[in-house]
Structure 1
């Protein structure tokens, strides 16, 4: 059993940022280390190694300790989540688990898989959340000719993303192979809607009532397809401060100002490792990535360099939004790790 680092409690006397974020200054040594890294990221023109960094925020001990914006962006500017929305989908599943509407270890309600001889009917929600369903799906963001994700989001699947993704066949027995797939998340989002018995505006109301509203994510703007499914793989715009609020919910173990939002143990479930191929630089949990800012860290990661990273040992949240081409991805992730190291003083 993997030993997970403990999650830090909200420091006494620091208010929860439901409406406003408390602010503090970083330590002198941390500030000195941060300055050149932030100056590089926000230089104009943007550095070739990182691409554009539109916003950066660091929260430590529940307080904003560093914040910077690219020209034309402000604290109230919203940013593309891309795949950070996957982790939000995991939170919504957790809420439905808390309400007794979903069992992650049971095969979920996917109409396309219900035939008596359909091998997909044994796939569990847990295997979907761990990207280990065994379903075929080509996750390619560049080549539209071979990309199932481009076809799903912008082509023939865009009006019913969950239904499109659910048509793909098995290529591995469920639970035996890891393969990151946006189609998987949209199947999960549709499962959540069916479990709730609500889609479209009714599902949006659920998201705000149970998740976004209680933690103060007033800027959240989730997008839905024509079938009424939250496009949980890719589309929930937020301010950088609201991405940090979402990270805070997880860093605090799913509790917000005394109210339990996520079920007991849900955050530990999210950050418990799933076996991944040795070719993967970072680990994976359940719709959350692992290890970007050192052992024990976990993060929601999005295309073009959208990151919300939690570092429990430092009581630290790092948020970066920007526009970085795919060939700069590794360098941006290293930069995030270097930022976290500034707080290890």
Structure 2
């Protein structure tokens, strides 16, 4: 036994060394993701830490993380192998933000968005009252209920489904532990929120899709030719790597950068603007900085997103999170309950009109849903499209806001439908074509 013990000890340290060698370069990213997601789920969404560990953060290599929750400081910290501690801190009104080393609460953005949230006695979705109980003769309710049950079956990992039809709540279902008040992270659905804010600015005549020389840093080189249209179409030609499985531009931006708009801003051109379609979260955070530049103060920037869009359509549960520089992380970090996300889809279903008020122009909706060259019919103005029939059994006019791990707001104009789905499994693991087809078959 005495001879075996040293061998076991050597093997243990060799194994630890191999694991450390593989993961050490990524520890900043692993602990950054773990701490940020834990902080937001606990303090923004009101979840328990244990539910986050066992569900949201239970995937490799994030499941290597260990946590410290500090309710008094409203922070969450994470380590892996006792190394690379990262801390995220909750800033009321602005959500959670990853702190740089040696930073604290005094370093967080001070301004807060001023919310206007008057109570409306109108029934949901246009107001705060209970939804109207409507029976549509063309709807097979038994079949619809089965479609929703199938979405939650087995390993589908669905958490919420909301279906709006003809401006009414047709159906909704939640997994145990979640309900109509639970906030969900939209991930890249936030990109579509950013696009909508730009649409509001365009309708107000403050910006134009043809605007160029968007940033002073670009004025003296070929990047001056990049237009707002190019950024919205993800066709700027700027270098960018969107790979979440390794150290890449997007992971460094989300988990290492204090000012996330700076990362894409300083990238070089790989091709002429308009010639390359390349999905880039950095581009959307650059757009967030562009929006900031349209205002004289940070307070005006903070308020505009809510006053002119989010609160105007009653998405009162929504919180946009910022980076350390105080820019909304327009690529990834927005929280709202499923019913409020459905309101966002309804705004687009009704061509930018919200209860008789035109918030986005018809031209902006048309622009949003027009396929970008080089995207194979998959992408428009910061929305995903079915023009290329990625969902073969679903109408081609479907367009959607999509997010990591299977977050979706689907808009189907030809069928007068908005379908919202939140979960932890994405297509094709969770078959969206079958999911949508079954709902559509129930609403003939």
Settle same-fold status: TM greater than 0.5: yes
Q: Using the alignment, how far apart are the partners of 2:354 and 2:138 within structure 1?
A: 30
Q: Using the alignment, how far apart are the partners of 2:251 and 2:311 within structure 1?
A: 31
SS at match of 1:176: coil
- Does the 8 Å contact 2:213/2:223 carry over to 1? no
Runs of 5+ consecutive residues of structure 2 not aligned to the other structure: 1-121
- Does the 8 Å contact 1:109/1:194 carry over to 2? no
Match of 1:41 in 2: 151
- Does the 8 Å contact 1:305/1:329 carry over to 2? no
Change (3 A) 1:28 1:255: closer
Match of 1:73 in 2: 178
- Does the 8 Å contact 1:81/1:236 carry over to 2? yes
Match of 1:190 in 2: 289
Q: So what's the TM-score if we normalise by structure 2?
A: 0.67
Match of 1:231 in 2: 329
Q: 1:271 aligns with which of 356, 369, 372?
A: 369
- Does the 8 Å contact 2:151/2:435 carry over to 1? no
Please say if 1:210 is aligned against 2:292: no
Q: Deviations over 1:59-110 (max 9, x none)?
A: 0001111100011001000000101011110110011112222111121532
Q: Deviations over 1:25-52 (max 9, x none)?
A: 4657633333333223223xx42xx3x1
Match of 1:249 in 2: 347
Runs of 5+ consecutive residues of structure 1 not aligned to the other structure: 1-12
Q: Using the alignment, how far apart are the partners of 1:64 and 1:19 within structure 2?
A: 13
Q: Using the alignment, how far apart are the partners of 1:29 and 1:250 within structure 2?
A: 23
- Does the 8 Å contact 1:108/1:191 carry over to 2? no
Q: Using the alignment, how far apart are the partners of 2:402 and 2:206 within structure 1?
A: 27
Change (3 A) 1:14 1:205: closer
The Cα shift of 1:221 comes to 0.4
Match of 1:295 in 2: 396
Change (3 A) 1:253 1:28: closer
Match of 1:5 in 2: none
Q: Using the alignment, how far apart are the partners of 2:371 and 2:133 within structure 1?
A: 33
Please say if 1:104 is aligned against 2:202: no
Which aligned pairs between 1:1-345 and structure 2 lie closer than 5 A? 17-20=126-129, 21-25=131-135, 30-43=140-153, 46-47=154-155, 50=156, 52-115=157-220, 118-143=221-246, 145=247, 147-155=248-256, 157=257, 159-199=258-298, 201-278=299-376, 283-291=378-386, 292=391, 293-324=394-425, 328-329=427-428, 331-343=430-442, 345=444
Change (3 A) 1:336 1:132: farther
The Cα shift of 1:212 comes to 1.2
Instruction: Report the aligned-residue RMSD.
Output: 2.1
Match of 1:3 in 2: none
Higher relative CO (CA 8 A, sep ≥ 6), structure 1 or 2? 1
Change (3 A) 1:15 1:234: closer
SS at match of 2:344: helix
Change (3 A) 1:330 1:184: farther
SS at match of 2:293: helix
The Cα shift of 1:243 comes to 0.4
- Does the 8 Å contact 2:214/2:226 carry over to 1? no
Q: Deviations over 1:180-235 (max 9, x none)?
A: 11111111111011013343x54231111111111110001001112121110001
- Does the 8 Å contact 1:136/1:168 carry over to 2? yes
The Cα shift of 1:15 comes to 7.6
- Does the 8 Å contact 1:107/1:123 carry over to 2? yes
Q: Using the alignment, how far apart are the partners of 2:373 and 2:139 within structure 1?
A: 38
